[in-house]
Structure 1
């Protein structure tokens, strides 16, 4: 009797879904390794050797307990690679951190590809659309939205590493914590993309936000960087409080914070209308801050201008992708039955965001502030896919965010090179004649700007076409027309920059300033340029993958 009672009250060890969480675990492990080796200083080889011994022992234990060979072998190989790189770059810690971070992100992309293949194969075996797998007490969903967004985030972080290396060196702020912060921000974004519980949404946002606050203020001697970090922190904390209040109201309606349960409770006939609308309103405001929707975009220009330019590129690309993934999971998924309540609100926000973002970008002289307001306008374009409330809208948003991540990172990458050359923030006047002296990087910047404008033959055009087509299919004709008008306005300030580069004469004081390039920067910019062209001419593969993501996510 006593033994039976003890058995009933004894805590049960939860089964952790290692496979489902493997991208975050690999990425987090890479961040911890880089952080430990950085803090080890001159003893990093000893620390690496100790880590190698412990990891091999853990792999051996894993093999003995489970009789699996693949996982332990990969773990042992990874430990050997880390030790070898630590010995090779023991006198160059920044290079070691950059290489290990890039390898960690590459391994994470490989794990995500494995998850995608397995998930898609299971769907085919079932002969129907696969319902999203929910793990870790239904707080994490392994579905198409999560997998596709994880790819976007990891690619953005991977590109940001070579773009930031030489920039940080020249600005004399290349400190070891940069790479762990970049990885931990990516971990938070990955968790946000797969969060199936409102508490997990909040936790994920805090993880990525804390890392980005520090990275924004990374230039300690730059007052604009410190100002941007301070504003980002204050407004970020304010938006998090609003989001948390919305989560509390949602819990009051549903008695649960699970996204599906909250959606079902709010859609029920006996749901309290006032409390439901209040919860939706606070959730929209909280996420609108993170996606920089008007009028919740006030932090964007100062933060984008003040942050180190590679950080700005990563922030613009990856944060937007992760936050919109949460938008999709909540409103295109759980709250789809309540579209009568939130579609008019998001419609208004999308219209305001597209017009205000484009109009304010026209009057900017600083290129980073111009791209900041451009990012605001692009958030409005992406929102059209959510307002459409159909499957094409979801796939269109996923594809659009990937295309935007590539072209915005490329634009900020070229801008970072220019800042290294002129040792100051870049205005449009500073770009005069740049294309005549350096036609290749100027041509790349022109390509990225044309893609951001949505010119045919570029990734930006195909992204806008995808969300506009979904909007038309969803009956949102007026919103699509507003998007087209906003795109026409935006074309002016993009072409204005191109005109300054290729049709005006270079100032004499800039003629003798050299443009420094590195192999990493050149490779990253070449890859992003090629991706912009390929996705603009042959987008079918990724469009189909984005469409498959909606099937895996079970979105109707």
Structure 2
């Protein structure tokens, strides 16, 4: 007993900077409250309460982020929770990106869930009767658990990009992944396809998590710590065998590249994008990409910067493979969602170029460029999936390319917005996609990766073909007599699409503010 008392007296509780981590605490706290509301509220009250709670949470977390970012804080950042979480400028930028992208995703989820036959609505709840009866039945039968699951995934993503040690990063990876596995299986229209996608994502995700965890174990054996700074110190000045270091690095990176949908670790992406409910696909495509590359940037920059010449060539090759797979296989797709999935694989290759853009002096010009690219790509992707959710037939969403023929004649506005978004994904000037590629490629050239940039430009040209193919199909083909209709978007969907399109245009014309913010600080080491 005396020994326990002595040990308790020697224990010092870690300092917690609540102001620094307030955005994460707000999101995770609201997720817990949302679970309780799901269990306690009557079914007919859940939708409105859960939606309001989710939107208020995102606004409150964004307000806390802005307050801390504009306060008198250390420029180099702070570490809290015994050094497990690093709150620096990249963390704040990535948190802000995740929050605004999650806001757009929640709006899409809310709108698609209250429409008769919506993607999250139990079909048994939609019974004949008046419009009021159908609306009430729809709200009663909808799967409102989508809201707490989304908040938990978002909280995991925010923790992931700020994790300062590999164990915290692994826990955050599981917190963000497990809700996504469930969200993928919530579609009601195409239940078998959705559940198949969820199971495939879960199984492959479990393998990727195992790779990540084995990598953490090997790196702990090498450095005697899971902290990123300790691994960097051990790699810089030790006579230990490098076998554990590079074996652990390889396994760790496999887990990270899987989550980022980088080829050849992309096998889950097309099936999950196609099978998951479209709002969930938008959330995954935008926010998961930000979280995954945020984690990759921190790991490579903080823990493995001293060994860049050993691993840079490997990731150079991975980036080429990802760009080629995304560009070439995207040409063969006949489903819009699968086409965007392979587009995301190609974009992951472009993003990977930015993450490995380190100069011999240790500078990281690719960090700010990659973060800007993530923000621009996220808004464009959410708006694009918002458009996809509007083109529907009697079976639900009409995602086969043949059903998009002559869409401009049926709905010129929808076709025009989708054309603009596709041009942004292709990297056409006056869009955020062009600026994103320009800054990433410029950083790569500054870091001596000119051959890789040339390959990326060729891949961009090839990928542009399948974007233009959809545009030609919409404008220069005759619509089928029994073709799909364009449903009138609800208020939330309209806001999400408008927000994404406007940001895509604004960042293409005036990107300076965001670029300056992204480039004002470095990762805390």
The two structures have a TM-score, normalised by structure 2, of 0.91
1:186 is matched with which residue: 145, 151, 154?
Answer: 154
Distance between the aligned counterparts of 2:440 and 2:30, measured in 1? 35
Residue 112 (structure 1) aligned with residue 57 (structure 2): no
Distance between the aligned counterparts of 1:322 and 1:517, measured in 2? 29
Say if 1:432 and 1:500, in contact at 8 Å, map to a contact too: yes
Residue 482 (structure 1) aligned with residue 452 (structure 2): no
Aligned with 1:122: secondary structure?
coil
Cα offset for 1:189? 0.1
**CA separation of 1:514/1:293 partners in 2, compared to 1, >3 Å: closer, same or farther?**
closer
Distance between the aligned counterparts of 1:239 and 1:400, measured in 2? 25
For structure 1, the residue ranges without an aligned partner over 5 or more in a row are: 45-90, 124-129
Could you say which residue in structure 2 is the equivalent of 1:230?
A: 199
Aligned with 1:426: secondary structure?
coil
2:477 is matched with which residue: 488, 504, 521?
Answer: 504
Could you say which residue in structure 1 is the equivalent of 2:166?
A: 198
Post-superposition CA distance 1:492-512 (Å, at most 9, x none): 00011111111111111127x
Say if 1:420 and 1:516, in contact at 8 Å, map to a contact too: no
Could you say which residue in structure 1 is the equivalent of 2:386?
A: 413
Could you say which residue in structure 2 is the equivalent of 1:78?
A: none
Aligned with 1:509: secondary structure?
coil
1:209 is matched with which residue: 177, 196, 200?
Answer: 177
Distance between the aligned counterparts of 2:376 and 2:395, measured in 1? 29
Say if 1:243 and 1:283, in contact at 8 Å, map to a contact too: yes
Say if 2:323 and 2:347, in contact at 8 Å, map to a contact too: yes
Alignment of 1:148-297 (within 5 A): 148-169=93-114, 170-171=118-119, 172-173=121-122, 174-219=142-187, 222-297=191-266
Could you say which residue in structure 2 is the equivalent of 1:525?
A: 497
Cα offset for 1:425? 4.2
Cα offset for 1:418? 1.4
Cα offset for 1:7? 5.2
Could you say which residue in structure 1 is the equivalent of 2:506?
A: 534
Cα offset for 1:201? 0.8
Post-superposition CA distance 1:47-87 (Å, at most 9, x none): xxxxxxxxxxxxxxxxxxxxxxxxxxxxxxxxxxxxxxxxx
Cα offset for 1:204? 0.5
Could you say which residue in structure 2 is the equivalent of 1:445?
A: 418
CA RMSD of aligned residues (A): 1.9
Cα offset for 1:254? 0.7
Distance between the aligned counterparts of 1:352 and 1:135, measured in 2? 38
Cα offset for 1:92? 4.2
Could you say which residue in structure 2 is the equivalent of 1:82?
A: none
Cα offset for 1:168? 2.6
Distance between the aligned counterparts of 1:514 and 1:239, measured in 2? 39
Cα offset for 1:345? 0.8
Cα offset for 1:424? 3.8
For structure 2, the residue ranges without an aligned partner over 5 or more in a row are: 123-141
Aligned with 1:510: secondary structure?
coil
Say if 2:335 and 2:400, in contact at 8 Å, map to a contact too: yes
Alignment of 1:395-434 (within 5 A): 395-419=368-392, 423-434=396-407
Aligned with 1:256: secondary structure?
coil
2:73 is matched with which residue: 115, 119, 122?
Answer: 122
Could you say which residue in structure 1 is the equivalent of 2:297?
A: 328
**CA separation of 1:490/1:142 partners in 2, compared to 1, >3 Å: closer, same or farther?**
same
Aligned with 2:79: secondary structure?
strand
Say if 1:167 and 1:420, in contact at 8 Å, map to a contact too: no
**CA separation of 1:514/1:382 partners in 2, compared to 1, >3 Å: closer, same or farther?**
closer
Cα offset for 1:552? 4.8
Distance between the aligned counterparts of 1:344 and 1:37, measured in 2? 50
Could you say which residue in structure 1 is the equivalent of 2:342?
A: 373
Say if 1:267 and 1:335, in contact at 8 Å, map to a contact too: no
**CA separation of 1:184/1:9 partners in 2, compared to 1, >3 Å: closer, same or farther?**
closer
**CA separation of 1:408/1:308 partners in 2, compared to 1, >3 Å: closer, same or farther?**
same
Cα offset for 1:122? 3.4
Cα offset for 1:267? 2.4
More moved, 11-20 vs 520-529: 11-20
Cα offset for 1:13? 4.0
**CA separation of 1:508/1:191 partners in 2, compared to 1, >3 Å: closer, same or farther?**
same
Cα offset for 1:154? 1.2
2:437 is matched with which residue: 426, 441, 464?
Answer: 464
Cα offset for 1:112? 1.3
Distance between the aligned counterparts of 1:9 and 1:299, measured in 2? 48
Could you say which residue in structure 2 is the equivalent of 1:30?
A: 30
Aligned with 1:137: secondary structure?
coil
Distance between the aligned counterparts of 2:507 and 2:394, measured in 1? 31
Cα offset for 1:18? 1.6
More helix by share: 1
Distance between the aligned counterparts of 2:279 and 2:157, measured in 1? 17
Could you say which residue in structure 2 is the equivalent of 1:546?
A: 518
Post-superposition CA distance 1:411-466 (Å, at most 9, x none): 11110111477614411111111112211121111111110000000011000011
Could you say which residue in structure 2 is the equivalent of 1:345?
A: 314
Distance between the aligned counterparts of 1:5 and 1:536, measured in 2? 62
Count, aligned residues = 496
Say if 2:157 and 2:172, in contact at 8 Å, map to a contact too: yes
